[in-house]
Chain A
Amino acid sequence: MVNQEDTFSRGFITGLPVFFSYLPIAITFGLLTRAAGLEMLQTFSFSALVFAGASQFVALNLLNLGAGFLEIIITTFLVNLRHLLMSASLYTKIIDPRLIPILGFGVTDESFAVAGIREGPITVPFLAGLQLVGYLGWVGGTVLGYVAGEFLPEALQAGMGFALYALFIALIAPPASRSGLIFTVAIIAAGINWALTLLGLGHGGVRIVLGIIGGALAGTILDPEGRGLR
């Protein structure tokens, strides 16, 4: 049943961990774009229009290496292909699909993790609040990093790289400690991605997609009715 409390402001507050995990990563991105010689408006547009962290770092890296336009575009597409699965999963939980062309823009690993792991249907205002607070953290952090990132202590700059993983761990550890099936699904997905990486097979984004498919498929085979999720 729809939770009457699932308002815009509830979504905004629920999204605060996403805000705090984005901030340090976005600051790092702003810092790196400045080092790469990009202008302030270019840096801002990067985060405001693409809004997909991993691919932005990869693109910046490729730019620094002198890669071509098409190479960067294709890599971006592959890195972000995983959102296809996440959107498909999320859209089955959204009550009013009409606004998906707008809300779809805000699908990220982190907002999906928060909304997807949350039990029950998702209201549009809740999702909008959740995505907006993450967006503000990402765009605001990028600008902050561009302007002031160099003033942070070096150890903290490096330690901040851990923030996103802390968020992912915080989202998966409680359900995985409660349900053996959820634990198994996460471990299989992790194992597939790790094995493919060790073997040097596929691209970073493709490995994540294969890991997600393998893990979710294992969950479906072990538990076709999805009882482990209720």
Chain B
Amino acid sequence: MNIYLLILGMALVTYIPRVLPLLALDLEKIPSRIKTFLAYTPFAAMGALIVPGIWESIPGNLGASIGGGIVSILVSIRFKNPVFSIIGGVLTATLILFWQ
């Protein structure tokens, strides 16, 4: 298989959904219910992206995923800085893996 052809094909089918709404939506005329739906979309997306993928984020070690998750939640509510949450979550997961 030609890898470059594959990459170009993947790039195309990835790009289409990213720009299609611009062509399909008249942004001025969206009904308010649809606007509410789209405004809730980011929060719904976070939920669906986290669960259940997070259980498998560190293959074969649920404890490291859960430990990292708890630390990330606590750090994010306390500091509201995503960089701290990433560092805290990854370090916790790594330490749990290291000790086992």
**Chain A residues proximal to chain B, CB less than 8 Å:** 16-17, 20-21, 24, 38, 42, 45-46, 49-52, 55-56, 59, 63, 68-69, 72-73, 76-77, 80-89, 91-92, 97, 100-101, 104-105, 107, 109, 112-113, 116-117, 155-156, 158-177, 182, 185-194, 197-198, 207-208, 211-217, 219-220, 223-226, 229
Contacts and interface: CB of A to CB of B under 8 A. Distances in A.
A214 B40 CA distance: 11
Given A55-B14, A161-B58, A174-B77, A168 B38 contact: no
Contacts of A45: 4, 7
A216 B16 CA distance: 22
Given A168-B46, A182-B43, A193-B52, A69 B38 contact: no
Chain A CB within 10 Å — which of B19, B42, B80, B98 has the most?
B42
Interface residues of B, number: 75
A120 to B, nearest CB: 12
Given A20-B83, A84-B18, A88-B38, 12 more contacts: A21-B82, A50-B10, A50-B14, A85-B38, A85-B41, A88-B25, A104-B19, A117-B43, A186-B43, A186-B46, A219-B43, A226-B40
A185 B73 contact: no
B3 A38 contact: yes
A117 B8 CA distance: 31
A229 B40 contact: yes
B57 A165 contact: yes
A175 B89 CA distance: 19
A210 to B, nearest CB: 8
Top 3 closest pairs, chain A to chain B, by CB: A215-B44, A159-B94, A211-B48
A185 B39 CA distance: 11
Given A158-B97, A190-B47, A17 B83 contact: yes
A86 B41 CA distance: 7
A213 B5 CA distance: 33
Given A86-B45, A212-B41, A226 B35 contact: yes
Interface of B is mostly: helix
Interface of A is mostly: helix
A105 B53 CA distance: 24
B86 A172 contact: no
A71 to B, nearest CB: 11
Contact of A175 (B15, B16, B43, B95): B43
Nearest to B17: A84
A9 B2 CA distance: 39
Given A165-B69, A173-B76, A190-B50, A155 B94 contact: yes
B38 A49 contact: no
A219 B51 contact: no
A198 to B, nearest CB: 8
A86 B22 CA distance: 12
Contact of B44 (A76, A166, A186): A186
